[in-house]
Amino acid sequence: MDFGFLKFRLSMYLTLVLIVGFTALFIGIIFALVGITNIFIITGFVAVINVIEWLYGPKLIDALYHVKEAQPGELQEIRDAIHRISERAGIKEPKLMIADIDMPNAFAYGSPLTGNRVAVTRGILKILSPQEIEAVLGHELGHIRHRDVQVMLFVSVLPAILYYIAYTFMLSSFFDQRGNANVLAIVGFLSFIGYFLLNLFVLAFSRSRETYADLHATQVVDDGAKKLRSALAKLYIYSYVIHSRKPKEAKKTSTTRALFIIDPSALNPEDLKSLSMEEAIEYVSSRKMSTLERIEELFSTHPNIIRRLNTLKKLEK
């Protein structure tokens, strides 16, 4: 393991420690101000809701994106790629699913009720070569190997707890009859601030998990960095086409953008209007991030496409 990769993993774990530590500190302060009974009730409620979402979420995803399991013999080349990658990654082979939408993308998901699944959309099958799809699958199976569904579920519960604490105390301040309205309002307001700050940490952690999955693809797919770089550039460009021609589908996919290999909402259409495919790929790969893009990235579940492509370019053999 090279030093750069080790440094990245340490920074990712440090972010997780900061998220947990910040949450514990903030809730501890609230304990001291108002007691612990209501906090435990809120925490338990949020935890139960998130566990239910985790268990039954795959069924909702299947319904939302018209996902069906691939039939025996269907997409055999992709099945073979999943088999190779699973063996190299040392994980159980996930089910292959097909999402009947034009948005070119792929995603990994699952729960104890459904098992692990990896889905490809009809759109991605039309625009990427088999080698590029294999690299994308290397990324998605990286999420499975790293248990990102479970990890992000745990992490996302923490800001949700602060959000419900804030909502509860702000609401209580309006109906308080014991003279504690100001204290309740202050606690609620501070909790909203805590929620906002913690959510930024969670988004940063999500971006690091996406980079981690990109790195996984470079390790389990031959010439994976080059193939994934080409695939991501194409997905970014074609996602713009779908956004332009089918805004309803684009809006639907943007609501669950954390699932996908490419964030379908992080597009700048004006950059691509007059370019051919080859020119567009080169343009996306060679641009420098603007200040606005750096700020926008802070609120995204995925690293900026330029950052991802540059990282992969450094890893090309």
Which residues, including other chains, have CB under 8 Å from residue 191's CB and lie 6 or more apart? 26, 30, 162, 163, 165, 166, 169
Gap between the Cα atoms of 232 and 50, Å rounded: 30
Place of tokens 């713009």: 240
Predicted local confidence at residue 37, as pLDDT: 47
| Exposed e or buried b per residue across 128-165, where buried means at least 16 C-beta atoms within 10 angstroms of its C-beta | beebbbbbbbbbbbbbbbbebbeebbebbbbbbbbbbb
pLDDT in tens, 166-182: 887 787 777 766 667 78
Quick check: 200 pLDDT over 80? yes
Predicted local confidence at residue 298, as pLDDT: 92
pLDDT in tens, 271-297: 566 667 677 777 777 778 889 889 999
Beta-bridged to residue 260, according to DSSP, are 107
Predicted local confidence at residue 222, as pLDDT: 95
Three-class DSSP category at 117: strand
Quick check: 305 pLDDT over 80? yes
pLDDT in tens, 61-87: 899 889 999 999 899 999 999 999 999
Gap between the Cα atoms of 312 and 142, Å rounded: 15
Q: Is 140 a catalytic residue?
A: yes
Domain boundaries along the sequence of the chain: 15-315
Question: Which long-range contacts (C-beta less than 8 Å, at least 24 apart) are formed by 1-7?
Answer: 5/215
Predicted local confidence at residue 9, as pLDDT: 67
Predicted local confidence at residue 31, as pLDDT: 62
pLDDT in tens, 22-65: 776 666 666 666 555 456 666 677 777 778 888 888 998 899 88
User: From the candidates 74, 87, 132, 140, which is the catalytic residue?
Assistant: 140
Give the pLDDT band (50/70/90) at residue 7. low
Gap between the Cα atoms of 100 and 301, Å rounded: 24
pLDDT in tens, 251-270: 555 555 556 676 655 555 55
Predicted local confidence at residue 231, as pLDDT: 93
Quick check: 156 pLDDT over 50? yes
Identity at 261, one-letter amino acid code: I
pLDDT in tens, 85-124: 999 999 999 999 999 988 889 999 999 999 999 999 999 9
Predicted local confidence at residue 259, as pLDDT: 65
Place of tokens 């691509």: 272
Number of H helices and number of E strands within the chain?
A: 12, 4
Place of tokens 């009720």: 113
What is the bridge-based pairing of β-strands 115-121 and 95-99?
parallel
Identity at 84, one-letter amino acid code: R
Question: Starting at the edge strand that comes first in sequence, how are the strands of the sheet with 115-121 ordered?
Answer: 67-69, 95-99, 115-121, 106-111
Rounded mean pLDDT, 206-231: 94
| Exposed e or buried b per residue across 34-51, where buried means at least 16 C-beta atoms within 10 angstroms of its C-beta | beeeebeebbeebeeebe
Task: Give Cα separations from 237 to 105, 175, 228, 245, 254 (angstroms).
Answer: 12, 52, 14, 13, 16
Predicted local confidence at residue 103, as pLDDT: 86
Give the pLDDT band (50/70/90) at residue 316. confident
23: left (phi over 0), alpha (psi -120 to 50) or beta: alpha
Predicted local confidence at residue 84, as pLDDT: 97
Instruction: Report the candidate in 145, 286, 161, 300 with the shortest Cα–Cα distance to residue 229.
Output: 286
Contact between 141 and 228 (Cβ < 8 Å):
no
Eight-state DSSP code of residue 256: T
Mean residue pLDDT across the chain: 82
